[in-house]
Amino acid sequence: MYLHKLSLINFKNLREEEFELSPGINCFVGDNGAGKTNVIDAVHFLSMCKSSLGMTDGQCVRHGSDSFLIEGRYRTDGDRSEQIVCSFARKGGKTLKRNGKEYERLADHIGLAPAVIVSPSDGALISDAADERRRYLNGFISQIDRSYLQSLVRYNAVLAERNRLLKAMPEEEMLEVYDLQLSEHGRAIHRKRAQIAALLEPETARYYGILADESEPVSIEYRSELNDTPLEELLLRNRERDRINGFTTSGIHRDDLMLQIGGYPLRKFGSQGQQKSFLLALKLAQYTLLAREKGERPILLLDDLFDKLDAGRVERLIRLVGSEDFGQIFITDCNPTRLRTILDRRGDPYTLFTVADGTVQP
């Protein structure tokens, strides 16, 4: 799937921009603060209904304005057209339309226009707490499987109810009802996470080998209390502890992904370069799984690529993503020449945009 036209009104520092994109490589170059990441974020918004940078919808409205609008015109790999419009108004909230028809729930849209983003903020996947990795996994699996997102929404709703109840001296029968529901949704989420993590590991290792050109084995291990014990059993066993704490101490909301290199935690023992290559390999593995599951090549968003790789590795990556397995690609860089040098050497066509002070010029 690719985006052939993007229109933006008052999205962050982009006032009113409209441009045509190529189905292959699209580069956005310009100074720091010009708006390159904002363009990438707008594309992410159309896929995931939210900013990739953890900004609220309100924060994405251009300062001094009341609303923003993002419109994307897509063509699928099967040559079908899709028009997606996402708008947000400080007063009216967020709406999402597909081919002119408003979605009842935003969640119904996730997965229609799959996208994978690689950005400097990926570092949080290594350095931050487990919830960052769970968030990553959730976003990824939601694009593959709509029922996963539904299970997750329900699980979180029941979990919040159960926690509220725990603080108020609950009756056993009430807890039993919640535990049953929590177990059911938790089981579905656990099964899917385990399945995806198992697929992710060999693909990540393969890409790591290509990108880093070294033979250190990398591994991804899905840690969950549910690996060994069913959730209904855990909930029952820990009921007393939960009452004392006033919240639910076991469940898939405590899962984690252990990222390792050479058998040791990536966070502590991976060099800067190894960590960056790992993250990139992880994202390319995600891309490959997503493409396989959807039968549709996602859009690949590579923000600030040189943040992760030196010129030699960027060249290797560009060769890699230039293959048939990858579809449309967005790349940003603040240096106007180094990316062009690499792309010109490669010879295949690409489209270049210059971003300056919130404007985008082909």
Ligand X SMILES: Nc1ncnc2c1ncn2[C@@H]1O[C@H](COP(=O)(O)OP(=O)(O)OP(=O)(O)O)[C@@H](O)[C@H]1O
Contact residues: ligand X, CB under 6 A: 12-13, 30, 32-38, 59-63, 304, 334, 355
CA angle 14, 12, 28 (to 5 degrees): 55
Q: How far is CA 347 from CA 163, 253, 318, 322, 343, in A?
A: 59, 48, 11, 11, 7
**Binders of Mg ion among 222-241, rule CB under 5 A?**
none
CB under 5 to 8 A by kind: which of Mg ion, ligand X, none does 133 bind?
Answer: none
Report, in Å, the least distance between residue 134 CB and Mg ion.
25
Could you give the string, one character per residue 296-315, with x where binding to Mg ion holds by CB under 5 A and - elsewhere?
--------------------
Using DSSP, state whether 104 is helix, strand or coil: coil
Report, in Å, the least distance between residue 271 CB and ligand X.
24
CA distance linking residue 111 with residue 279, whole number of Å: 22
Residue at shortest CB range from Mg ion: 37
**Across 21-137, where does the E strand assignment appear?**
25-29, 67-75, 81-89, 93-98, 101-102, 115-118
If the CB atoms of residues 16 and 221 are measured against ligand X, the closer one turns out to be 16
CB under 5 to 8 A by kind: which of ligand X, Mg ion, none does 13 bind?
Answer: ligand X
If the CB atoms of residues 13 and 22 are measured against ligand X, the closer one turns out to be 13
CA angle 63, 355, 56 (to 5 degrees): 35
CB under 5 to 8 A by kind: which of Mg ion, ligand X, none does 30 bind?
Answer: ligand X
CA distance linking residue 57 with residue 66, whole number of Å: 11
Report, in Å, the least distance between residue 279 CB and ligand X.
17
CB under 5 to 8 A by kind: which of Mg ion, ligand X, none does 12 bind?
Answer: ligand X
Report, in Å, the least distance between residue 295 CB and Mg ion.
32
Other C-beta atoms closer than 10 Å to the C-beta of 163 total 15
CB under 5 to 8 A by kind: which of Mg ion, ligand X, none does 32 bind?
Answer: ligand X
Edge-first strand listing for the sheet containing 256-261: 218-223, 256-261, 264-265
If the CB atoms of residues 166 and 329 are measured against Mg ion, the closer one turns out to be 329
Report, in Å, the least distance between residue 336 CB and Mg ion.
14
CB under 5 to 8 A by kind: which of Mg ion, ligand X, none does 274 bind?
Answer: none
Query: Do residues 285 and 203 make contact, with C-beta atoms less than 8 angstroms apart?
Result: yes
If the CB atoms of residues 55 and 160 are measured against ligand X, the closer one turns out to be 55
If the CB atoms of residues 88 and 326 are measured against ligand X, the closer one turns out to be 88
If the CB atoms of residues 63 and 345 are measured against ligand X, the closer one turns out to be 63
Query: Do residues 139 and 115 make contact, with C-beta atoms less than 8 angstroms apart?
Result: no
> Contact with Mg ion (CB under 5 A): which of 37, 47, 119, 286?
37
Region from 37-45, 148-156, 170-178, 252-260 binding Mg ion, contact rule CB under 5 A: 37-45
If the CB atoms of residues 34 and 291 are measured against ligand X, the closer one turns out to be 34
Report, in Å, the least distance between residue 37 CB and ligand X.
3
- Alpha helices (H) in the chain, listed in sequence order: 36-48, 57-60, 124-127, 130-144, 146-166, 172-212, 231-237, 239-245, 266-269, 272-294, 305-308, 311-321, 338-346
Region from 35-43, 107-115, 163-171, 305-313 binding Mg ion, contact rule CB under 5 A: 35-43
Edge-first strand listing for the sheet containing 81-89: 14-20, 2-11, 67-75, 81-89, 93-98, 101-102
Phi-psi region of 214 (alpha: psi -120 to 50; beta: other; left: phi over 0): beta
Residues near Mg ion (CB under 5 A): 37
